[in-house]
Structures are given as C-alpha cells and as structure tokens.
Structure 1
Amino acid sequence: MQIVSALSEISDRYDALFVDLWGCVHDGVRVIPGANEALRAFRAKGGKVILVTNSPRPRAGVERQMDAFGVARDAWDDIATSGDSARVAMYRGIVGQKVWHLGYAGEEDGGFFTPPNVLDDPLEIARVPLDVAEGVVCTGPPDPSAHPDVMRPELLLAKTRGLKLLCANPDIVVDRGDRREWCAGAIAKLYSEMGGESLYFGKPHPPIYDLARRRLAKLADVPDAAILAIGDGPLTDAAGAMGEDLDLLFISGGLGAEETGTPRLGDPDPEKLAAYLEATGVVPTFVIGSLR
C-alpha cells in the first residue's frame, strides 16, 4: 500500500477509472476541491472516467444533481448507478409487480418507477400498501436522520409475509456536508438481521460492476488490469473493488476521515490509517486523503 498526494502520480498505469461520487467527488452539497481538476487531467491524456455510484437515482437524476453540486461535465464520461441496476431487476419482476416502496422516488428526475429503456418488455409495477404488496422496494429510509430501528414494525410485517426487499442503495450511511444520514443499505441490513431476504444492486455487489463495464465497453476496450477503482467506503467501494480484483485508490478523507486522522483536503496519519485498514479489512493499492 502506497500513500500518494495526487492522482497524477499513478494515473499513467491505468486507462480507466471507476470513481465513487459521494465522499470522493462531492460531499452531498458541493464538489470536493481538486476532484474536477484531477479527473479532467486524467481524461485529457485519453483516460476514461465512469462514475460508479450507489445512488438510487436513475442516471439522468444523478447528472442533474452533479450539475447542482458543481461537478464538471467534462470530468467524466459516463455514469453507472445502483438505481438503474435495481430498476432493471424490478421491472423484470424480481420482487413482484405490486410493491411497497420506502424512500425517494425522484419523479422530477425521470423517476425510479419509470421503466428503463434497456428492457423491451418491462412488467407493470404498481406501488401499493404493505399489507397487499408482493415485495418491498427500498430507495432509502423515509427519514434519513432517524435510526433504521424506527422501521422495525413495518419490516416485521414484511418478513412475516415472506416479502423480498430490493435495496437500490447498499450504502449504510453518507455524509451530507457535515451531517451524517442513513441510507437504504441500513434498512436492508436490518431486514436481513431480522430474518428477511434483501437483494442488493449497488457496490460491493456484482450487478453494478457489470453495468459499469458495459458503459466502459461503449467507449474503449479496457482490461480489468487497466481499471483503477476509487472510493471511500470500506463496505462498498473497497469491498467491491477487492471482490472484482480491481486496483483500489482508497480515499481516507471520506467516511473514515476521523478514524484515519485525515484533515479536510489533507493527508492521513500513517499510524491511524494502518489501524483503520486493519480493522476494516481494506487492502488498498494506494491511499490518498482526497481526490486531487
């Protein structure tokens, strides 16, 4: 493992990047200083940038969100979202046609409940009350500030009825600016702990990496050995990269900033970083404080 101070120190070894968004490119409020410039420089040398995000939003919604945060359009080539991967599965009927929905639907962004154009014959999906649902679709908790335990009564009913839960965002928590929020992954984790069956479609699970590779293949023929994954989540970005056998540039100043002793836009404390990596089981190829 090597600590680097800039992406440019190692970027010549790779032809493509799979880049996490939240905590790496933006903080849920604004672009992280240096991220646009680092990705632009990589693309200027011919590299391809695929943004791989556990956002439950469709691609178009993520794109509009990034515009609002100040993420430059010329800093990336394409986007793979867990929302798109999950939507395809939902419209194939993986949790039935009548679903109880938890979280954000995003109608203004094209909508999670808009059939994806990659399917020729999508099923009709109806949102219904829990007591008549055939499955559960979770794009997030109803209140991201409330602990997932508040959903236990509803989840118990879903489990008792034998319903599968489709999780459109495996993240447990994210930091929106200085505020930590719960994500759909926390609901799915609780449901599994209660004995229910949760189905995941974002990092670290294979479907989103399959989608990212398809997006990349439209741009260039890049072998896995020439792809660098970039992310800050031990359970999502790091576990996914390690599971897919991709090199990993771990961002220590994201979710693990406090534990790794990484000040904003600074470098990690080597001793704290080593302890954190050992505790989380993350084995990165490189570490950087922030994407720059």
Structure 2
Amino acid sequence: MTQIIDSLDEIAARYDALLVDLWGCVHDGVRALPEAVAALQRYRAERGGAVVLVTNSPKPRAGVERQLDRLGVPRDAWDAMATSGDSARAAMFRGAVGQRVYFIGQEHDLGFFEPLRLLDDPLEIARVPLREAEGIVCTGPFDPMADPSVLRPDLLYAKTQGLKLLCANPDIVVDRGDVREWCAGAVAALYTEMGGESLYFGKPHPPIYDLAYRRLAALERDVPREAMLAIGDGTRTDIAGAMGEGIDSLYISGGLARLETGTARQPDPERLSAWLSAEKVSPQYAIGALR
C-alpha cells in the first residue's frame, strides 16, 4: 500500500542517498520548483545525505548542469548527476549502432556527438543521410509538438534495412511548463511497434542506474540499495526503474499524471490507487510535489 506523505522530511532519516528525477520534480522545464529545491537542500544540510540527479535528458552532464543554472536550481541542492545522454553516448561511441548514423533530433542536442574522452579508443561517429546510415540515434523528434507518426516513412525504411535505433531519452512525453511535448521514447516505441529494434539507456533500464551508482562511489559514499530512495513522476520510468533495481520510491503525483491522480496539493487517495494499479507499479510513498 502506497503511503501518502506531506513532505520529504517525514521519511528522510531512513535513506542515505536520493536518486532524483529532474523534469517535473525539481523543475518544470521553465523554472526551478522552489519547494523541491528547499527539500533537497535540507536533506543535504541537515541529514548529510547525498543527492544524485538521475535524468532521462539526452544531453551530456555538462549541458544539463548549464540548463539547471539557467532554470535557477542551485548547486547546493545536489551532489552528482547521471544522464541518459551520457549513458547512451558511451554506447554510441562503442559502436552500438555503427559508425555512420542518421540523427533524429533538434539542433540544440548536437552536443550528444561531442567527443567522449572517458572511453579508450572511442569510434569516430559520422552523421549521414538515412540511406547511408548503419543505425539511428534519436534524442527526440525533429518537432516535439508533432505526432511521432510523421516519422513513420523513415522508420519503415530503417526497419527494412535492419537498422537499430539508439534512444537517448526513454521518456514518452514531458511537460514544458503547461505545454506537453513528445520525447525520444515515443519515437523508439513507434519503431519497436513497427518491428524495429530500439536500444534504451535511460530509466527504467539498468545502464543509467549503473552510472548513478558509479557517481555515488565517486563521492566515496558506500550506500546499499535499501538505503536509497528514488524520486520521480514517471510511473514507467522512475518508479518501474526503482522497482527493477530493488530501490524504494517516492512518486510525485502532481507531475505527468496530475489529472489521473486528482492531484491538487495532494493526490486523491482512491484515484491514486486506481492509477498505480493500472500502471502496475507500487511505490512505497506518494506526494503531490516534492517538498
């Protein structure tokens, strides 16, 4: 049974590290969420806990850090970061989808192709037209407001050629302020539905959690999984991923599913229960917003 709590402080003493989603939990794509920032600052300052931001952003870590600075998320609210982009980039430079790749995404995500110096002998990756490609790299749709089905002709050709699609962000949608946008996960889901092969590296899949654990180890924090708490608003990413890793979770009901859960300040208990049952997840805790 999921327990609805009023603040992170109620359960903070039980955990030595937090694995915290960003979009919908710490910021809304436009600005930082003040209560969430304050909660993480208290957890670090008063509890001595470690905060690892675990995000399905396709950006490299440095790019997400710059984004957080712009949005007003202060550096004293977190300790380390693991991004889907970093995990997926490592796979790309190891040749997961070949050396000649067709890129589906927007210009602001071209940092994905910047050299990755952490690998020994990374491959040289070239962006090429679809008909010259060995694989596909997707950081998101060309147009996040357009239905992903507009990509069906290109994806059909790719499937007939047996191309793999590397998905740098498994999220299906995200809310930028009050506007809902499609993400790379929607493109990958469509490709899989069409019979193509999609490779995922963000939540709920293991590679990004392995990266988060390495980030914790780099902080010289030896934290067992039973002392970690995952926080997020995605049932099929944050919560399903935590369940797969054997980590407790705190579900933010006022994010992507605020309507389904009847969340004003807090979720409606009956609607929350029905929603979680339908999504086949069982977080230990729920709250309307991180605070």
Settle same-fold status: TM greater than 0.5: yes
Structure 2 Cα separation of the partners of residues 182 and 57 of structure 1: 16
Residue in 2 that maps onto 1:68? 70
Amino acid at match of 1:100: Y
Structure 1 Cα separation of the partners of residues 7 and 192 of structure 2: 39
TM-aligned CA deviation for residue 114 of structure 1: 1.1
Runs of 4+ in 1 over 4 A off after TM superposition: none
Structure 2 Cα separation of the partners of residues 85 and 117 of structure 1: 13
Contact persistence 2:188–2:198 (CA under 8 A): yes
Contact persistence 2:172–2:186 (CA under 8 A): yes
User: CA deviation digits over 1:50-87, x for unaligned, max 9?
Assistant: 00000000001101111111111100001100000000
Aligned pairs for 1:195-274 within 5 A: 195-219=195-219, 220-263=221-264, 266-274=265-273
Residue in 2 that maps onto 1:282? 281
DSSP-derived class of the 2:106 partner? coil
Contact persistence 1:24–1:291 (CA under 8 A): yes
Residue in 1 that maps onto 2:153? 153
Structure 1 spans left out of the alignment, 5+ residues: none
DSSP-derived class of the 2:260 partner? helix
Contact persistence 1:106–1:112 (CA under 8 A): no
Aligned pairs for 1:158-197 within 5 A: 158-197=158-197
TM-aligned CA deviation for residue 32 of structure 1: 1.5
TM-score normalised by structure 2 residue count: 0.97
Q: Which of 178-187 and 63-72 deviates more? A: 63-72
Contact persistence 2:58–2:109 (CA under 8 A): no
DSSP-derived class of the 1:212 partner? helix
TM-aligned CA deviation for residue 105 of structure 1: 5.0
Structure 1 Cα separation of the partners of residues 235 and 227 of structure 2: 22
DSSP-derived class of the 1:208 partner? helix
TM-score normalised by structure 1 residue count: 0.97
Contact persistence 2:59–2:109 (CA under 8 A): no
The Cα RMSD (Å) is 0.9
Structure 2 spans left out of the alignment, 5+ residues: none
Residue in 2 that maps onto 1:32? 33
Contact persistence 1:15–1:47 (CA under 8 A): yes
Structure 2 Cα separation of the partners of residues 49 and 103 of structure 1: 30
DSSP-derived class of the 1:272 partner? helix
TM-aligned CA deviation for residue 149 of structure 1: 0.3
Structure 1 Cα separation of the partners of residues 290 and 242 of structure 2: 17
Contact persistence 2:101–2:128 (CA under 8 A): yes
TM-aligned CA deviation for residue 33 of structure 1: 2.8
The percentage of counterpart residues that share the same residue type is: 70
